[in-house]
A and B are shown apart, each in its own frame.
Chain A
Amino acid sequence: MRPELDGAAGPPVTRTADRPARGWAPPTGRPIDIRPLLGAWVNYDETSTGITRIEIGDWQGCPTVRVFGADRPAPIDWGEAAGAAFADGVDTVEAVAFVANYHLDFVTVILAGYLNKRLLVVDAYSAFTDSSRRVDSFKRDHFYLP
């Protein structure tokens, strides 16, 4: 069965979770509350070879993401990227997750993070676009707010 694109029984859906639990009440239209994501998150694993720190800020209600990659003698500042915040469902507004993309001239990284209690779990999906023949790779790191 194809997703309901015609909206005959309310706005279109691709799965049950796209429908508000309370039925099609007038939408709140409220923006996602990104406050649970904000802060300077530090990797639990000091020896991680991935990301050492993530700073998530607020730009007019949208998250901004600044990543620092593990390296010696000092972490590598990836710079700031615009992020997008996500709630736990279609009729809630508290942020529980985010996505941000980094497009550099030798690699593209999708950062996909979510909150698990007071832990921020961040998965990095990296695709190399240079001629180094490095394999596109996945890496997970866990962060806390000091």
Chain B
Amino acid sequence: MTTLRHLRAEDRLPEEAKPPGGVLDTEELTGRWLATDHQAAGVVRLELSRRDGALFVRAFGANGAQPYDWGEIEAMPYGSSVVATEAMAFSAIYDFGFLVTILAAYAKQGILVLDTFNTFTDSSGRSNYFSREFFHR
């Protein structure tokens, strides 16, 4: 029997369990998510879709009646364990040239919780900042 390398107990497979491998079911994530806060100053909408076995995210930033379209990028899906079959979280990275934004999100009971970690690479002097936002379908 081969011992899998691990960083913590949860990396190990449950006894006699076989890793499912393959592609995670992303149904819990895909769709159009709207910020629960109508006055949100951060991300106001997320569109998650699946294409050719990959997960994609398209984010929209708050800007009054005309949100900024950040464009679509590939996202990385995650399950709740090493033997999960359904995705419940994702990460993605936008590089705007002057700003790098990491999206880190998970879905729970029909709500999507999005954390963003924003690093400015220009000389504007703005502080790198964190945000936490909530979305519903």
Contact = CB atoms under 8 A, between A and B. Distances in A.
Nearest to B91: A125
8 contacts: A20-B126, A50-B8, A76-B6, A86-B129, A90-B126, A110-B91, A136-B76, A137-B81
B30 to A, nearest CB: 17
Nearest to A128: B82
Contacts of B66: 1
B80 A137 contact: yes
A49 B128 contact: no
Interface of A: 1-5, 11-18, 20, 26-30, 32, 49-51, 67, 69-72, 76, 78, 84-93, 96-97, 99, 102, 104, 106-107, 109-110, 112, 114, 123, 125-128, 130, 132-140
Nearest to B84: A135
B119 interface: yes
Interface string B76-108: 111111111100110100101111011010100
B109 interface: no
A125 B76 CA distance: 9
Nearest to A28: B125
A16 B70 CA distance: 13
A135 B91 contact: no
Contact of A69 (B7, B88, B97, B118): B7
Nearest to A29: B125
Interface in B35-76: 41-44, 61-64, 66-70, 76
Contact of A87 (B84, B97, B122, B128): B128
B81 A69 contact: no
Given A28-B125, A70-B8, A109-B7, A138 B79 contact: yes
B78 A125 contact: yes
A92 to B, nearest CB: 6
A49 B84 contact: no
Contact of A134 (B13, B77, B89): B13
B27 interface: no
Contact of A132 (B19, B96, B102, B126): B19
A36 B123 CA distance: 25
A10 to B, nearest CB: 8
Contacts of B77: 136
B59 to A, nearest CB: 9
B70 A49 contact: no
B63 A123 contact: no
Contacts of A130: 4-5
A5 B88 contact: no
